[in-house]
Amino acid sequence: MNYPNGKKTRINHVTNTDQRANFSNRGMTLEEDINQTNHYYLTHNICVVHKKPTPVQIVNVDYPKRSAAVITEGYFKQASTTDYNGVYRGRYIDFEAKETKNKTSFPLHNFHQHQIEHMKAVIEHHGIAFVIMRFSSHNQTFFFPAVKLFPLWESQYKGGRKSIPYSFIAREGIEVPTGYPALIDYIKVIDHLFF
């Protein structure tokens, strides 16, 4: 069992010749790629980042036999904050991972007010907060600083756009280097921006 989510980590061994094929047409796998990257970071003592577990209140469990308990009813105890958090070079990092098949923009409805408030609090306390956004149709993944997200979020409630144009993200974000074994090497971007 691997901490904290109990899932076994999937490690794909690829050679340089089939690496390009592995990264094309991957579909909606951003979370898997980040989890594998975080596993690499952890095992190579680069940083400690984990996916946050979603708090769930278990209401009903069916016990057909002791070794085969099945949860039949449960509810989210509270709204979760962001997807990942951890520490790198003495700085707290906290980020959300989102992907879209949309080619021209990233819908703001993919975020929630409590996530925005959480990222603002992280930044207020000198942490590093950001979003990793994948446009699967372009096969591109961007590091988008949370401070650039906040005005766009507020603007939608004042008659502004309900989405972030792809061109804006490509200009204001930083494309995350991809490779192997760090599939989504966001630490390189953090090094560039903060260290």
* Dist. CA 181–CA 65, nearest whole Å: 42
pLDDT per position as a tens digit, 109-135? 999 999 999 999 999 999 999 999 999
Domain residues of the chain, as ranges?
A: 20-52+80-194
Q: What is the pLDDT of residue 28?
A: 47
Three-state SS string over 83-126 comes to CEEEEECCEEEEEEEEEECCCCEEEHHHCCHHHHHHHHHHHHCC
Residue-wise pLDDT tens digits, 146-195: 999 999 999 999 999 999 999 999 999 999 999 888 999 999 999 999 99
Percent of the chain with pLDDT over 90: 68
Write out pLDDT tens, residues 20-38.
334 433 444 899 999 999 9
Give the CATH fold of the 20-52+80-194 domain: Trna Endonuclease; Chain: A, domain 1 (3.40.1350)
